[in-house]
Amino acid sequence: MGCCGSSLFTETHPEKDHHHHHHSRHNHPSSTGESDTGGGASGGGGGGGGGIPPFSEFSLSDLKSATNNFSSDYIVSESGEKAPNLVYKGRLQNRRWIAVKKFTKMAWPDPKQFAEEAWGVGKLRHRRLANLIGYCCDGDERLLVAEYMPNDTLAKHLFHWENQTIEWAMRLRVSLYIAEALDYCSTEGRPLYHDLNAYRVLFDEDGDPRLSCFGLMKNSRDGKSYSTNLAYTPPEYLRNGRVTPESVIFSFGTVLLDLLSGKHIPPSHALDMIRGKNILLLMDSHLEGNFSTEEATMVVELASQCLQYEPRERPNLKKLVSTLAPLQNKPDVPSYVMLGIPKPEEAPPTPQRPLSPMGEACQRMDLTAIHQILVMTHYRDDEGTNELSFQEWTQQMRDMLEARKRGDFAFRDKDFKTAIDCYSQFIDVGTMVSPTVYARRSLCNLLCDQPDAALRDAMQAQCVYADWPTAFYMQAVALAKLEMHKDAADMLNEAAGLEEKRQRGGR
């Protein structure tokens, strides 16, 4: 019940399908088979990232907790022996799902260089990307943290589908969205994408295709940028071992071939078919002819241009976007419909139980009303949560209670930053625990626009007093502030149930 304890970090049924594929501490200036599933909040329009947390450094303990100590049950992608980089699914304390890519120390021996590379990628924010939200560089550990994408990879939907193949309109959408992602990255000064392939294209909770951010960093400082079969590698990379923006266009052409054929066809073989005018032979037979020949011809021609031997003869990213945008023929149909996956869950309706004034204030996220209620309630719910010896009273109690008293005055006077400092002094001594102090500091954090810290305090209040409705109510408000509306509604419902039980005779 609620968010307390280890249940925060894990679920009882972590996915183990290897076809499946991000809390802040400090703010600071593959192979063919490696999928990068990285979920959670969807990005904003343009370069915006609504709902995406700011890029930050994670502690190793946070990521261990999120992935059940990097349990093999949480692995969602592994790249093989030549580049032993694993991707794990995990869940943070604030209930956000993440994807964690684990490198070896040998891949990035210099922690400063790894951190600088990660910060460079972490500045990017776009709705077409599975965005990078953090990293960890602790001892020998080198980890990247990204949004988690729950609906598999393009490779799974094209090559390993079970119920239905991707319809033509969805394939066109994938091609445009990935071109838009690459164009955004290039515009923001990150034009190189390493080893672009169908495993790097992920589907979010709405079924929209996103480009994995992991490909914006190499698998190692000095490692190869392409770990796929040589038949799919840009010819200039084979000549000089360097990735250029034109190399990315070549790889995009191979993804277009995947979308056209439903198979992973070597570019040389596909080009022979195109030259022989065997376009229909190239098309995926599972489409059963349900595509526009005119549209298919234009995509085939674009793929052919991308796969030109000479890099200068390939189109640029703007040309890709301008060619693919007019081909979109089902703009009003949601991606999840075309992908054949369930509709994303919506927040449940308002709890049927009658809400108390505290519940109603939390439901409408009225922080002023919550503040008034907590001031009026004072500390009457703290009875029985502490048993102190006489020695403890005489040694620490006076200073600790004085800190709490100063915090109470500041809280009453709406000086919330001072209240946070004073309540933190009280909590840090550790002699006495008070769920009310945690609840008050939680509200102060909300009013100071720190919902992650607010959620942690509300959870601590629950740990001190397991069935305290106020702890659940404060968690509900913090979750709503974090745009986790379904979890917030569940928590509000749970709080209302505890309050009802309390009124019937509980504490």
Query: What's the CA gap between 13 and 290, in Å, rounded?
Result: 38
Number of continuous H segments (helices) and E segments (strands) in the chain: 20, 9
Q: Per the structure block, which two tokens stand in for 315?
A: 């189109």
What is the longest distance spanned by two Cα atoms in the chain?
Answer: 93
Q: Per the structure block, which two tokens stand in for 359?
A: 């519940």
Query: What's the CA gap between 6 and 342, in Å, rounded?
Result: 29
Query: What's the CA gap between 8 and 459, in Å, rounded?
Result: 10
User: If phi over 0 gives left and psi between -120 and 50 gives alpha, with beta otherwise, what is residue 159?
Assistant: alpha
- The residues with which 137 forms a beta bridge, in sequence order, are 142
Report, as residue numbers or ranges, the catalytic residues: 195
Nearest alpha-carbon partner for 105 in 67, 142, 54: 142
Angle, alpha carbons 26-29-30 (nearest 5°):
85
Neighbours of 369 (CB within 10 A): 15
Q: Per the structure block, which two tokens stand in for 110?
A: 């210099």
Contact between 159 and 198 under an 8 Å Cβ cutoff? The reply is: yes
- The dihedral through the CA atoms of 299, 300, 305, 306 has a sign that is positive
Query: What's the CA gap between 329 and 325, in Å, rounded?
Result: 9
Q: Per the structure block, which two tokens stand in for 488?
A: 């917030």
Strands 56-57 and 132-138: parallel
Contact between 396 and 388 under an 8 Å Cβ cutoff? The reply is: no
Query: Taking the chain, what is the end-to-end CA distance rounded to the nearest angstrom?
Result: 17
Sheet bearing 97-103, strands edge to edge: 56-57, 132-138, 141-147, 97-103, 86-91, 75-78
Phi, psi of 422 (to 5 degrees): -70, -45
- The residues with which 130 forms a beta bridge, in sequence order, are 212
Query: What's the CA gap between 155 and 199, in Å, rounded?
Result: 5
3-state secondary structure 101-122: EEECCCCCCCHHHHHHHHHHHH
Strands 129-130 and 209-212: parallel
Query: What's the CA gap between 302 and 431, in Å, rounded?
Result: 69
Contact between 35 and 154 under an 8 Å Cβ cutoff? The reply is: no
